[in-house]
Chain A
């Protein structure tokens, strides 16, 4: 066998040392150039994923909050509308009552006035009638008596006569 080759099974301390060093060196290379960068990237990714989840949770919580707020507001609005309708109908009722009362009052007034007027007209007519009757009575009496009666003198008499009619 040529001296250029090692035996198939041979041990050499330096070769063993070199092999150990090679393995250690490769360990360091893999640690520094493969594991560290990949683990750093994975941690970064994990961080981003966590952040996304956190943001999603936040958004959902905010949405829930908004929803609660809106439904609350909606309920308030419905109540308010009901209130408006109620107060409007109350006002309308009140107004119609007022209008009715007013109309009743005015009608009564008119009736009263009319009655008064009638009364007055009646009284007036009565007075006129009285005077006329008195006049006529005097004339009749003059013609009957044949002399002129002093109206003033007999006025009282006549009046009393008329009143007795």
Chain B
């Protein structure tokens, strides 16, 4: 039986500056995803006309309208300029997770990716809180309802990005881990049950065909879209409520 290794992203090479920047699969796959979305945008919006027509245009309009609607409903009219940001979160998260379907390493399985997003969202939340309440009002918000709550308030504030990070990361990684485990288990089971077959036939892990596909539909397709949606929703709700709070 092979040993099961569950690791992070593969390090492809290291740029020897600032003490070595490691370029991993995460980076490369992220860029591939971004490039893919970029090309998709170009294809969808090509030859667009106000008289409507092509199916590509319908898809482009649908995406823009849905995201705009989502932002309007959850954040309010004045946040409409944030629609591309929300769309970027949705697209990057979903497509990053979906790269797993192509056998690539999903960038969302890398804690750093999600941590980056969460830190960005947390910065925006803080920015809007300060913008709405003023800096002193923002600081004062931590002492409410009574001063003794201050440590808990700080914890809960920090908890926001951390919980967002680990929710998303945990879901994707659990998918990867379970898929790997099931895959390995099926290989063992296959060897155990069909190992008696003569020659090469006994070495083919027949049971690996089919079953992982079902798991993949849940973990890679459903969960990917779900987590992207959840992350985007939380982003909108947190930023929206930060801007509205007294």
Q: Are B110 and A22 in contact (CB under 8 A)?
A: no
Q: Is B245 an interface residue (CB 8 A)?
A: no
Among A2-10, A79-87, A103-111, the stretch in contact with B: A2-10
Within 8 A of A (CB), among B56-93: 57, 60-61, 63-64, 83-85, 87-89, 91-92
In the bound assembly, the distance between CA atoms of A11 and B120 in angstroms comes to 16
Interchain nearest-CB distance for A110 vs B (Å): 94
Q: Is B167 an interface residue (CB 8 A)?
A: no
Question: Knowing A16-B116, A20-B120, A26-B91 touch, does A8 contact B84 (C-beta < 8 A)?
Answer: no
Among A33-41, A129-137, A145-153, A155-163, the stretch in contact with B: A33-41
Q: Is B27 an interface residue (CB 8 A)?
A: yes
Interchain nearest-CB distance for A16 vs B (Å): 4
Q: Are A20 and B116 in contact (CB under 8 A)?
A: yes
* Size of interface on A: residues with Cβ below 8 Å to B: 40
Q: Are A33 and B112 in contact (CB under 8 A)?
A: no
A residues within 8 A CB of B42? 33
Within 8 A of A (CB), among B94-142: 107, 110-117, 119-120
Of all chain B residues, which has the CB nearest A15? B112
Q: Is B185 an interface residue (CB 8 A)?
A: no
Q: Is B44 an interface residue (CB 8 A)?
A: yes
A residues within 8 A CB of B119? 16, 20
Residue-wise, chain A 27-64 has the 8 Å CB interface mask toward B (1 for contact) of 11111011101110110110110000000000000000
Q: Are A34 and B50 in contact (CB under 8 A)?
A: no
Of all chain A residues, which has the CB nearest B169? A9
Q: Is B244 an interface residue (CB 8 A)?
A: no
Q: Are A1 and B45 in contact (CB under 8 A)?
A: no
Q: Are A15 and B24 in contact (CB under 8 A)?
A: yes
Q: Are A38 and B60 in contact (CB under 8 A)?
A: yes
In the bound assembly, the distance between CA atoms of A34 and B51 in angstroms comes to 18
Task: Please pick, from B34, B50, B91, B112, the residue contacting A16 in the complex, using a CB distance under 8 A.
Answer: B112
Q: Are A41 and B49 in contact (CB under 8 A)?
A: yes
In the bound assembly, the distance between CA atoms of A136 and B240 in angstroms comes to 156
Q: Is B41 an interface residue (CB 8 A)?
A: yes
Interchain nearest-CB distance for A44 vs B (Å): 4
B residues within 8 A CB of A9? 8, 111
B residues within 8 A CB of A38? 45, 48, 60-61, 63-64
Interchain nearest-CB distance for A39 vs B (Å): 7
Task: Please pick, from A11, A14, A19, A47, the residue contacting B21 in the complex, using a CB distance under 8 A.
Answer: A14
Of all chain B residues, which has the CB nearest A44? B50
In the bound assembly, the distance between CA atoms of A105 and B164 in angstroms comes to 124
Within 8 A of B (CB), among A73-112: none
In the bound assembly, the distance between CA atoms of A7 and B111 in angstroms comes to 10
Interchain nearest-CB distance for A132 vs B (Å): 125
Q: Are A11 and B115 in contact (CB under 8 A)?
A: yes
B residues within 8 A CB of A8? 6-8, 173
B residues within 8 A CB of A5? 5, 7-11
Q: Is A18 an interface residue (CB 8 A)?
A: yes
Between-chain CB contacts (< 8 Å), 9 pairs:
A6-B7, A11-B111, A22-B116, A23-B88, A23-B116, A26-B88, A37-B45, A42-B64, A47-B50
Which are the 9 A-B pairs with shortest beta-carbon distances? A19-B116, A6-B8, A15-B112, A31-B84, A5-B7, A44-B50, A33-B41, A45-B50, A27-B88
Report B's interface with A, CB cutoff 8 A: 5-11, 18, 21-22, 24, 26-27, 30-31, 34, 37-38, 41-42, 44-45, 48-52, 57, 60-61, 63-64, 83-85, 87-89, 91-92, 107, 110-117, 119-120, 173
